[in-house]
Structure formats: C-alpha cells, structure tokens
Amino acid sequence: MKRLLGLSEMIDRALARIALAAGWLFFVATAVICFDVVTRKFGYQLPGFGSTRLQELEWHLHAAIFSFWLGFAYVRNAHVRIDTLTAGLRPRSHAWLELAGCIMFALPYCVVALYFGADYAWTAWARNEASESLSGLPYRWIPKAIIFAGMLLLLAGVLSVALKAITYLFGADGLRERAAFAGMRKR
Amino acid sequence: MTAWLAQHLALVMFAVLGVALFCGYPVGLVLGGLAILFGAAGWALGAFEPIQFANLLPRMFGAVAANSILVAIPMFIFMGMLLEKGGIATRLLHCLEVLTRRVPGGLAMSVTLMGTIMAATTGIVGASVIMLTLIALPAMLARGYSKELAAGTIASAGTLGILIPPSIMLVVMGDLLQVSVGTLFAGALFPGLLLSALYLLYIGAISWLKPGLAPALPPDVGPKSRAEFWRMIGKSFFPPVLLVVLVLGSIFGGWATPTEAAGVGSLGAIGLVWHAGKLDAKTVQETIESSALTNAMVFMLFFGATAFSFVFRALGGDDIVKDVMNAAGIDTGWEVLIFVQALVFALGFFFDWIEISLIVLPVFAPLLRDFDFTGHLGPGGNTLFLAWFIIVLAVNLQTSFLTPPFGFTLFCMRGTVPPSVSMGDIYRGIVPFVVLQLIGLALTIWLPELVLWLPRRTGLLL
C-alpha cells in the first residue's frame, strides 16, 4: 500500500512540474497574439512569421495550455462535478464512487482516445502532414502529439487518484490521512 | 427487445447520462466514458462499429484544439484572473464605493457596476460568485447592509458576467451553433446593460425607501483631499474601465477578432497589474495556476462532450430527437423555442452553463437550423434567429441560476457565505432580482431589436 501511495504522489509531482512549466505559455500566447495584431496593422511581416503562421501558432499554444493541465486539474480536483446528491456521503463512500468512476468512465475514455490518438499522431508524422494552407505551419504531428500527451497525462492523473482511493479503502490507518485525495474534500 | 434497444440506444444513452451525472464524478469524464460504453454497447447490438471511434480523434482535434475561435477562452480567462489576482478588481470596487457614497445603496450599486465592468473575470458562474462573495460580502456586512440585500446583489451581479461581453459563454455557444462571436457580443450588450440598469434602479429605490437596509459610507473612509480623490480615480478607476472599453470597442468596431481582443486585453491587464506594483512572482504563479485550472476544466468538458455527441449522433440520436419532438407535437418554431428554453431553465438548477451548452445545444442544433422567425425578427434568415435565440437563452439561464430554491448561483454561494448569513437570507434577497430578470427576459423576447439593433448597426450581422 505504501508503495502505491508513493507512486501516486510521484505522479502528482510530475504532473505538477509539467503543468506549471506549461502555464508560462499563457504569456507566450499573449505575446504571439499581440505581435500578430501589431505587425498586421502596420503591414510589416517578419520573414517566415506571416499572419497565417502566427494564427496557427496561437491554437497550437492553446492546445498545449489545456492539454498539459488536464491531468493535473484532475488530481487538484478542478474538474467540475455535480455533487448535489453525493455531498453528504461518508468519505469511504466517496472513495468507492471515485474508484468506480475511474474504472467505468475515465479509464475506457483515456484508453480509447490514446489508442486512436497514437495512430492519428503517427500518421501525421509518417505522412509529414502540414497545414492545409500553403503559408501555414509545417509539422502537423506536433499539435496532434500534444493532444496525445494530454490524454496520457490525464490517464496518469486518473491512475494517481485511483491509487489514492485504493489506499484509502484498503490501506493501514496511518496511510489514510495521506491518501485522502482532493475529490473527498470540499474544494 | 434487442432490435428496439439497437434503434433507441441514443435515447437510453441520454437517460443514463441524466443519472450518471449525479454520481459526483467529474462531468467531462462521465461524458467521455459514456461515449465509449455506449459505443461498445452499440457494437454488441450491431448499431456501431469500433472503427468509428477512429473519427473521435479528428473531432477532438479539429473542433477543440485547432479552433481559432476557442483560443479566446483561455485568453479571456487569463485576462480576468490577472485583474482579480492583481487586486485591480478589489481596488475598482473600493473606488466605485467612494464615487457612489452620496447615492442610496452606493456599495450595493458598486457591486453591480463591478459585475458589469469586470464581466470577463466573471465568465464562469461558480468562480465569479465565489470571488464576488469573498471580495464584497464582508465589506457590505461591515457597513451594516441588510444580509438579504447584500446576498441578492452579489448573486445577481456575479451571474451578470455570463451575459455581458466579453462573455466566455457566448464564445462557446457561438462556436457550437456557428454564429460569429462578435455578433453575439454586440447582441448581448444592450440586454446586459438593461438588466444592470434594472438592478441599479431597484437597489436605489429600495435603499431610498428603507435607508436602514443600506447605510452610507462613514465619512472617515476614503480619500481625504480632492487631489487624493483624483489620484485614486486615475489609478484605480480609469485603467480597468478603459481596458474593457478598448477590448469591446475593438471587437464591435471590427478591428479585432474576439481572440485578438482577448490577447491584447491580456497584455493590457499585465500592464495594469505592473502599474499597480503587483506583478511579482506570487501573483504571477497564482494567476497562471487559477487560469490554467479553470481552462483545463472547460476543455475537459469540451473533450468529453465532443465524444458524447459524436457517439450520440452515430447511434442515430438526431433522428430520434426529431421523432420524439414530433410525437410530442412540438414542431413549430415557437414550440421548439419554448421547449428548449424551458428545458434549459430546468437544467440551470443543477448545472453550470458549460455543461448545459455542450450537452443540449448539439442535440437541438439540427432542429434549430430549420427556423428563421422572419415574422418576428424581420428578414435575416437562420443566422439572425440563432443570434437572438442564444441571447434569449443566456438571459433565461441567468434567471434560472438565480431562481430559488435550486438556482445554481445560490447553491455556489451557500458554500462561501459566513454562518451569519442563512440560506433564507439568500432566498429572500434574490427574489426581487428574479422578478427583474423575468422583466428583462420578457423584453428580450418581445423586443428582438434590443438584441439585433447593435449587430445590424455595426455591420456584424448582414
């Protein structure tokens, strides 16, 4: 049990590190949008950084900003829940519900998305896909791989929460406090 | 039995969703999980092929990630969080309080005005109501405001943000029903300002009639000299107001897309926080974290809902919805309009607008495309109708969020108020605002020009 909990905490730390690093992309996206607006209004174009490319870069950044936070948002319990009926339950019942949800809903979703997502990104790489627009960005596999990575991080988050629920339900008393995951507490 | 099930699997899927959402598991993951489970069930019954799941990824990629319109969402969230975490919102509230000190109910009016000006910060009902409660409720109670008036004002002001542009909700709805976001922003401006004005009139009237409900600001609070007063206005009032006016003006003027306006607005917000001397590591960390968590929450729902509506469609959901509506005798434009509005009103008791838009709108979108309402709205076709429909939906949702005993806003508020404020205080305080909302809703339906005049005028709607 202790090992499971340790693994879960390790996943959380990794997710936090990736997410916090990706968070700076908000500033990058702000800069790219402003640069695009200003250069377009002045009719100036930095060679290789035309407006089409910049606008595609904007949604590449957008994809990265939300993808890299999907998993961390789950371990931090930021994903919205409808707890009208379940708010009053005992912590143990919450742990059971969370574990059931992970197995029934989250795992199948992540696994199917990853299976087809790997193929989707791989095809883009193998065919050297680029933007449909001639003046757009090359390497379409990068954003597709970012989505894949996002689902992988989400899966990691789901595993982490599931491990905590298992430790809480079946672990020794001493571990229980540490395993009380975010979903069981009020936000 | 099996044949019936195979044909009506989409219907069962929707019914199961209605139950599964209430198990308290994250909504986005429930939606995604049900998509896979019902895809598998459809496979077992011969109504779905597993290879169809391969189309899921292109949808998630094309509709959610590679979508320039949706880039506006993280940028507006970021801009709003900067203004909140950088203390700009709190200072604006204080400034408004001083400005309105001679008006009856000045502090309550300031809260409403802040909800109007800071609408971008208040894009997500749960988050905005909690923020306003934390910032404004202690101040109102400390000044001796009646708990009912304080709670009603805060709940209504926090919910105003979903309608008044720049509204994240309108970005989502516009994307789902393919109406330009600029059109919706322009269409929402007057209904939003009308509601805001109704709130202000009510607060002014009740505070004038019963001064005990809303005591004036004590004379020792606020700037001491005229010079200090103007410094405060220059530092705390004009910069955020100017920023919001510029962001909206550039969209209405057609100079910038909502995404561009949001990006430039974020730069402006960074500038404001820097000017206020709060651009330190702590503020930046907190801003990034809150923005990214909220943003991930929104897009998790997008991913889950994309998967759900994809499988729902693949199982023949669109036809089933039409059949069910026909069988129930709901087929003329007004009937469908009233039905969808009533459904959304009921859903607003339990869900925030993101879940409602992402689940309900894709289901009814094909139906809504059949109408143009030329008789009521004038010539303009389906786009015109959809623009008006979305604004009516937005005002309707606001009303639903505020209606006791279930209203979603009230529910969010309950967790944040101090123990001295009871649920009864919140219910009693909100009732007058619900009446004002109903007036606003009736006017939006009855006088469509309230919505359509500005988009027509600015050329955003042809």
- Read off the pLDDT of residues B393-424 as tens digits, 9 standing for 90 and up: 999 999 999 998 878 888 888 878 888 888 88
- Which spans in B210-332 are helix H? 226-232, 238-252, 258-275, 281-314, 317-327
CA distance B411 to chain A (A): 9
The count of other CB atoms within 10 Å of the CB of residue B245 is 12
Residue type at position A33:
I
The predicted-structure confidence for B6-33, as pLDDT tens digits, reads as follows 888 999 998 999 899 888 899 999 999 9
| SS3 call for B9 | helix
Range among B144-148, B355-359, B453-457 with highest mean pLDDT value:
B144-148
A35 contact B CB<8A? no
Looking up tokens 């290879």 gives B51
pLDDT (0 to 100) of residue A187: 35
pLDDT (0 to 100) of residue B457: 84
DSSP code for B294: H
Residue count of chain A, please give it: 187
pLDDT (0 to 100) of residue A186: 41
Of B65, B74, B299, the CB nearest to A143: B65
CB of B160 within 8 A of CB of B196? yes
Q: Which residues contact B77 (CB under 8 A, 6 or more apart)?
A: B123, B168, B291, B294, B295, B298
DSSP code for B216: P
User: Smallest Cα–Cα separation from B210: which of B104, B127, B130?
Assistant: B104
Query: Average pLDDT in the B371-383 region?
Result: 79
A120 contact B CB<8A? yes
- The pLDDT-based confidence of B122 (bands split at 50, 70, 90) is low
Put simply, the answer to whether A26 touches B23 (Cβ < 8 Å) is: no
Put simply, the answer to whether A70 touches B74 (Cβ < 8 Å) is: no
The count of other CB atoms within 10 Å of the CB of residue A3 is 9
The predicted-structure confidence for A67-99, as pLDDT tens digits, reads as follows 999 999 999 998 988 877 887 888 888 999 999
Of A22, A32, A70, the CB nearest to B300: A70
- CA pair distance B165, B247, nearest whole angstrom: 10
Looking up tokens 């391969």 gives B54
A105 contact B CB<8A? yes
- CA pair distance B412, B125, nearest whole angstrom: 8
Query: Average pLDDT in the B205-211 region?
Result: 92
Put simply, the answer to whether A62 touches B21 (Cβ < 8 Å) is: no
Residue type at position A8:
S
The predicted-structure confidence for A3-57, as pLDDT tens digits, reads as follows 899 999 999 999 999 999 999 999 999 999 999 988 887 777 777 778 888 999 9
- CA pair distance B46, A57, nearest whole angstrom: 42
Put simply, the answer to whether A109 touches B33 (Cβ < 8 Å) is: yes
Query: Average pLDDT in the A146-167 region?
Result: 95
pLDDT (0 to 100) of residue B372: 77
- CA pair distance B72, B60, nearest whole angstrom: 18
CB of B398 within 8 A of CB of B162? yes
Put simply, the answer to whether A106 touches B299 (Cβ < 8 Å) is: no
pLDDT above 70 as % of chain B: 98
- CA pair distance B322, B303, nearest whole angstrom: 25
The sign of the torsion formed by the CA atoms of B230, B234, B240, B241 equals positive
Put simply, the answer to whether B28 touches A105 (Cβ < 8 Å) is: no
pLDDT (0 to 100) of residue A184: 57
The predicted-structure confidence for A109-127, as pLDDT tens digits, reads as follows 999 999 999 999 999 999 9
Q: Count Cβ–Cβ pairs < 8 Å, chain A vs chain B.
A: 204
pLDDT (0 to 100) of residue B70: 92
Query: Average pLDDT in the B347-357 region?
Result: 85
CA distance A66 to chain B (A): 5
The predicted-structure confidence for B127-184, as pLDDT tens digits, reads as follows 788 888 888 898 899 889 999 999 999 999 989 888 988 888 999 999 999 899 989 9
User: Smallest Cα–Cα separation from B342: which of B360, B322, B359?
Assistant: B360
Residue type at position B3:
A
Using a CB-CB cut-off of 8 Å, the residues of chain B touching A67 are: 65
CA distance A9 to chain B (A): 19
CB of A98 within 8 A of CB of A184? yes
Res B317 pLDDT > 90: no
Please state, rounded to an integer, the average pLDDT across all residues of chain B: 89
Of A72, A105, A154, the CB nearest to B30: A105
Res B109 pLDDT > 90: yes
CA distance A97 to chain B (A): 7
Using a CB-CB cut-off of 8 Å, the residues of chain A touching B415 are: 186
Using a CB-CB cut-off of 8 Å, the residues of chain A touching B33 are: 101, 104-106, 108-109
Res A177 pLDDT > 90: no
- CA pair distance A178, A128, nearest whole angstrom: 47
Of A97, A104, A154, the CB nearest to B33: A104
The predicted-structure confidence for B179-202, as pLDDT tens digits, reads as follows 999 899 999 999 999 999 999 999
Put simply, the answer to whether B32 touches A106 (Cβ < 8 Å) is: yes
Of A63, A76, A154, the CB nearest to B293: A76
Residue type at position A13:
R
A186 contact B CB<8A? yes
- CA pair distance B348, B357, nearest whole angstrom: 11
Res B296 pLDDT > 80: yes
Using a CB-CB cut-off of 8 Å, the residues of chain A touching B126 are: 80
Q: Which residues contact B204 (CB under 8 A, 6 or more apart)?
A: B103, B104, B105, B109
Using a CB-CB cut-off of 8 Å, the residues of chain B touching A182 are: none
pLDDT (0 to 100) of residue A183: 52
The predicted-structure confidence for B39-95, as pLDDT tens digits, reads as follows 999 999 988 898 899 999 999 999 999 999 999 999 999 998 999 899 898 899 989
Distance, first Cα to last Cα, chain A: 26
Res B262 pLDDT > 70: yes
pLDDT (0 to 100) of residue B53: 92
Using a CB-CB cut-off of 8 Å, the residues of chain B touching A29 are: 71, 74-75, 263
Put simply, the answer to whether B32 touches A109 (Cβ < 8 Å) is: yes
